[in-house]
Amino acid sequence: MSSAALRPLWPVLFVILWSTGFIGARFGLPYADPLTFLLVRYGCTALLLTVLALLMRAPWPDSRRMVAHLAVTGLLVHAVYLAGVFSAISRGLSPGLTALVVGLQPILTAVLVAAWFRAPVGRRQWAGLLLSLAGVTMTVWPRLSVGHDMLPLLLPVVAALFGITLGTLYQKRFVPHFDWRTGGVVQFTACALATGAVAPWLESMHIVWNGSFAFALGWLVLVLSIGAISLLNWLIRHGESVGVASLFYLTPPTTALMAFALFGERLTPLAIAGMAVVAAGVVLARR
């Protein structure tokens, strides 16, 4: 089968791979603090990509400006996003709910693109945004009603939402074309340096090395940081920003089903309805 025939499958593959990232975090976080886990992940990914780049003689960035843009993109798309997601899950937020909040990215992208280019946001987009927020409220309401303090759990994942949204827009604007191997080295090295400077002040840096942690680390490095991120870079390069972002609204139901199958997380009728409302809001805003 030709690459052109396979092209429509790449977005589907990206959604599936991206959704497993929330599950991988759930597997590995019992054995390491979030920033410590991410520091090891960034280091392993940068090292593996460096070996690939040298073996395959991949072209390196040809200017300091491009290196700087790649570093900023990496810090937003990886460091801010993953730190928020891992922190939220480590504090008790379910992978499904975490994916749901980050799944608001299509709406936020549409609004920021409109503001960036001074274009008006239509009534349909605002209606979609409000509908999506209503869906999130429906999903978290059962936990709010039994006395859970959701604000400390939601703040990190909201930061993750803004990080990946701004990061994809920044990449589309300043570095839409770069080699995924050498560009990844720059991005993940920047993430490792930033995380390494912060983690010792906030965490014990202790890791329990066992089979579960090793599997989670290997999966997140190979399948997510290399496989899914390479697909994301390809999609950003070949599609418009809002169109690429619209893929993220498929992540919450995919992640919720995975969490249900692997961890037995309960899907209440209200939560399922909330996911449907979020998806409807995104579709409404994208039309």
pLDDT of residue 149: 67
pLDDT at residue 146, rounded to an integer: 47
Environment class of 192 (CB within 10 Å of its CB; exposed 0-12, middle 13-18, buried 19+): buried
Q: Are 44 and 221 in contact (CB under 8 A)?
A: yes
Q: Checking phi first, is residue 125 left (phi over 0); if not, alpha (psi -120 to 50) or beta? A: alpha
In this prediction, the residues of the chain whose per-residue pLDDT falls under 70 are 1-8, 117-121, 140-149, 238-247, 286-287
Instruction: In whole angstroms, give the CA distance from residue 212 to residue 214.
Output: 6
> What pLDDT is recorded for position 5?
56
- Burial of 134 by CB count in 10 Å (0-12 exposed, 13-18 middle, 19+ buried)? middle
Could you tell me which residues come within 8 angstroms of residue 141 by beta carbon, excluding any fewer than 6 positions away?
Answer: 270, 274
Write down the pTM of the prediction: 0.83
Q: What is the 3-state secondary structure (H, E, C) of 48-61?
A: HHHHHHHHCCCCCC
Give the SS3 label for residue 91. coil
Quote the pLDDT of residue 246: 63
Contact 258, 267 (CB under 8 A): no
Q: How many residues does the chain have?
A: 287
| Under 8 Å between Cβ of 169 and 112 | yes
Tokens for 118, please give them. 């001074």
How many CA atoms within 13 Å lie on the side-chain side of 230? 14
- 218 CB-near residues (< 8 Å, 6+ apart): none
> In one letter, which amino acid is 47?
L
Structure tokens at 157: 């994942």
What number of H helices and E strands is found in the chain? Answer: 15, 0
**Distance (Å) of CA 163 to CA 81, 249, 268:** 5, 16, 29
